[in-house]
A and B are shown apart, each in its own frame.
Chain A
Amino acid sequence: MSNSMIIGQYIPGDSFVHRLDPRSKIAIIFFFVIIVFFANSVMSYGLLALFAIGSAATSRIPLTYIMKGLKPVWFLVIFTFLLHLIVTKQGEVLVSILGWEIYEEGLIQGAAISLRFFLLIMVTSLLTFTTTPIEITDAIEELLGPLKKVNFPVHELALMMSISLRFIPTLMQETEKISKAQASRGVDFRTGSFKDRVKAVIPLLVPLFVSAFKRAEELAMAMEARGYQGGEGRTKLRELHLGKSDVYLYIMFILLVIGLFLTRS
């Protein structure tokens, strides 16, 4: 099948960032999200940006991809920037446009918030660019492991995620098949009023749902026949390993945190 079947945004590679244990990547992103809110000086923002850009550079993901990943959030970034610009009324008045006064503080805050947004989205999209969805699933299962003690269904959640990953391409193929079959009978999904198009989609959705339920039932049966009885006593083929790269990552991150608190104003 075509490459469009690949789920998510994973770009195969063998860079430093690709080789990191997905658990490390998720943990570091989690803490990065927190420390971003501690930055308050130009220098501290500079350090955070350096870390994000450095990570992107070592991942060898082309800049164009990362830019594309930022596309859906441009609107949000500009919106929050303008909001701060308009609402904040502190500091000196910089300019006055058509009776609207732009304050110095507004400009600074707007810029800071936008920058935070950018940094967060950049590091999280780096995760999805360099980590396969199944690795992310495994990492989440491991990281949430302690929650099993309070009866949180960690294993079931991870299994659900991996089965979804397994079946998304199958269901996409099926959707394509059904929509072609319907189109060949004269169903038109693209033109007509909104109501007409919704009507046209129903004969697509009904068989898709019917088949999805049948699949679910058969899959449950097949899993049971192969001895599935929940996460208890199960071993795992896929293992995660912390390596040297992970140690480097942690060192870099600790340095970043120290630097951040030294450069805060």
Chain B
Amino acid sequence: MGNTQIEFRNVSFRYQEDMPWVLKDVSFTINNNEWVAMIGHNGSGKSTIAKLMNGLLFPQEGEILVDGQQVTASSVWDIRRKVGMVFQNPDNQFVGTTVRDDVAFGMENHGMARDLMLKRITESLEAVGMNGYERHEPHRLSGGQKQRVAIASVLAVSPQYIILDEATAMLDPKGRKEIMETIREVQSARDLSLVTITHDLLEVTQADRVIVMNGGEIWMEGTPRELFRKKEQLIEIGLDTPFVSKLAEELKGAGLPLTREPLNHQELLEELWTFHSTR
């Protein structure tokens, strides 16, 4: 296997010569089969990182390696096959006039044979639970359904990495839940690394690792549990912790000795009853 990872080495980026640096000396690694969440306030450089990962932008300083191959203008077509992207707006990334045409779009670009396309369309629509919608036009789909089609379109070319840049931000709670479930299923069923950029701290709790961006720099890298221990600092850089974390904090303040940082209701509940039964 060798090098199966995305690696940022001292990457700095700015959009124009006379503009301030948007990313400053950023280094990190996305490992094989890993789920990394990326958070940070608006303008902290998350989308820029996403675009650098599949060669929509190139850094002025440092280098980016995908499976050991540097992202450059000449390697970009290989890279884009390996690194799939799902964007925020469900409408503005739907290219085809129907679901199946849209799923085929990426495969057509990569010159895949028609038989393979037909097979992959079925498979990837099944993976996101959108089979049966092949002939639907986008205006007959909900936002969540369109985003699932966007995920299927990316899956169809079987990338090793999928980046979701606030893919749930424009959806209602139901659509959000749909997408998160889809992502979880896809990640567990396939050999795939995920980078989810989000504002929703609940989404963060599901990731293996979190990268927190602040002002174009990595502010923190660690597990979700480590992250939520830093409540005051998170609030300082304009991020909020989930309700469960806040409640746990209050409980600790009230003198309840919680042993670990609970990430969700279930974990908090476990903490509480073990505490209750051991006292």
Q: Is A236 a contact partner of B108 (Cβ separation < 8 A)?
A: yes
Q: Are B80 and A227 in contact (CB under 8 A)?
A: yes
Cross-chain contact B114 with A1 (CB below 8 angstroms): no
Chain B 110-142: CB-based contact to A (< 8 A → 1; otherwise 0): 111110011001000000000000000111100
> Within B15-45, which residues are at the interface with A (CB < 8 Å)?
none
Contact with B along A145-159 (1 / 0, CB 8 A): 000000000000000
Residues of chain B within 8 A of A1, CB atoms compared? 139-140
In the complex, A223 Cα to B110 Cα: how many Å?
Answer: 12
Q: Are A225 and B114 in contact (CB under 8 A)?
A: no
> Does A128 sit at the interface, judged by CB under 8 A?
no
The reply to whether the CB of A224 lies closer than 8 angstroms to some CB of chain B is yes
Q: Which one of B83-91, B188-196, B218-226, B256-264 is at the A interface?
A: B83-91
B108 and A234 within 8 A (CB): yes
B93 CB contact (under 8 Å) in A5, A162, A219, A238: A219
One digit per residue, 1 when the CB lies within 8 angstroms of any chain A CB and 0 when it does not, for chain B 69-101 equals 000000001001100110101011111110011
A1, closest chain B residue (CB): B139
Chain B residues lying within 8 Å of A226, measured Cβ to Cβ, are 80, 84-85, 95, 105-106, 109, 153-154, 157
A166 and B114 form a contact (CB under 8 A): no
Complex Cα distance, B77 from A228, in Å, reads 9
Would you call B54 an interface residue if the criterion is a C-beta within 8 Å of the partner chain's C-beta atoms? yes
**A169 to B, closest residue via Cβ:** B139
Asked if A224 and B56 make an inter-chain contact with CB atoms under 8 angstroms apart, the answer reads yes
Q: Find B114's partner among A215, A223, A229, A239 (CB 8 Å cutoff).
A: A239
The answer to whether A218 and B112 have CB atoms under 8 Å apart is no
Given contacts A5-B139, A222-B87, A226-B105, contact A165 B97 (CB under 8 A): yes
Give Cα A170–Cα B92 distance, bound, in whole angstroms.
10
Please judge, given known A-B contacts A170-B139, A235-B117, whether A223 and B95 are in contact too, CB under 8 Å: yes
Complex CA distance for A170 and B95, rounded to whole angstroms: 12
A162 touches B97 (CB 8 A): yes
B212 contacts A by Cβ under 8 Å:
no
Give every chain B residue within 8 A of A236 (Cβ-Cβ).
108, 114
Chain B residue nearest to A166 in the complex (CB): B97
Distance in angstroms between the alpha carbons of A215 and B95 in the assembled complex: 11
A219 near B92: Cβ-Cβ < 8 Å: yes
In the bound complex, do residue B56 and residue A173 qualify as a contact, i.e. CB atoms below 8 Å apart?
A: no
Contact status B101-A222, CB under 8 Å: no
User: Are B95 and A222 in touch, CB under 8 angstroms?
Assistant: yes
Which residues of A lie under 8 Å from residue B154 when comparing CB positions? Answer: 226
Q: Which residues of B contact A134 (CB under 8 A)?
A: 97, 101
Q: Interface code A229-248, partner B: CB below 8 Å = 1, 0 otherwise? A: 10001111111000000000
Least CB distance from A79 to B in Å reads: 38
Contacts between the two chains (Cβ within 8 Å), count? 95
B112 and A170: CB pair below 8 A?
no
Is the beta-carbon distance between A237 and B108 smaller than 8 angstroms?
A: yes
Q: Does the CB pair A237–B56 fall under 8 Å?
A: no
Chain B interface size range: 35 or more
A237 / chain B contacts, CB cutoff of 8 Å = 100-101, 104, 107-108, 114, 117-118, 121
Q: Mark B48-72, 1 if CB is under 8 A from A, else 0.
A: 0001001010000000000000000
- Tell me the minimal C-beta distance from A164 to chain B in angstroms: 10
Q: How far is the CA of A215 from the CA of B175 in the complex (A)?
A: 21
Q: Which residue of A lies closest to B93 (CB)?
A: A222
In angstroms, Cα B113 to Cα A234, docked, is 10
When C-beta atoms are compared, the residue in chain A nearest to B91 turns out to be: A170
Q: Is A221 an interface residue (CB 8 A)?
A: yes
Residues of B contacting A221 in the complex (Cβ-Cβ under 8 angstroms): 51, 56, 87
Residues of A within 8 A of B100 (CB): 237
Of the listed residues A170, A218, A222, the one surrounded by the most CB atoms of chain B closer than 10 A to its CB is A222
Chain A residues with CB under 8 A of B81: 227
A212 CB to nearest B CB, Å: 10
Given A134-B97, A218-B92, A218-B93: A225 in contact with B108 (beta carbons within 8 A):
no
Known: A226-B153, A227-B110. A163 touches B87 (CB 8 A): no
Task: Give Cα A227 to B101, complex, Å.
Answer: 15
The distance in angstroms between the C-alpha atoms of A245 and B184, with both chains bound, is 49
**Complex-state Cα separation, A237 to B108, whole angstroms:** 7
Cβ B95 vs Cβ A169 within 8 A: no
Q: Given A5, A219, A233, A239, which contacts B95 in the complex, CB threshold below 8 Å?
A: A219
Of chain A, the residue at the smallest CB distance from B165 is: A225
Please, which residues of chain A bring their CB within 8 A of the CB of B97? 134, 162, 165-166
Q: Which of B54, B89, B95 has the most CB of A within 10 A?
A: B95
Beyond A166-B95, A235-B117, 9 additional contacts (C-beta under 8 Å) are: A162-B96, A166-B97, A166-B138, A215-B92, A225-B54, A226-B106, A233-B111, A235-B114, A237-B114
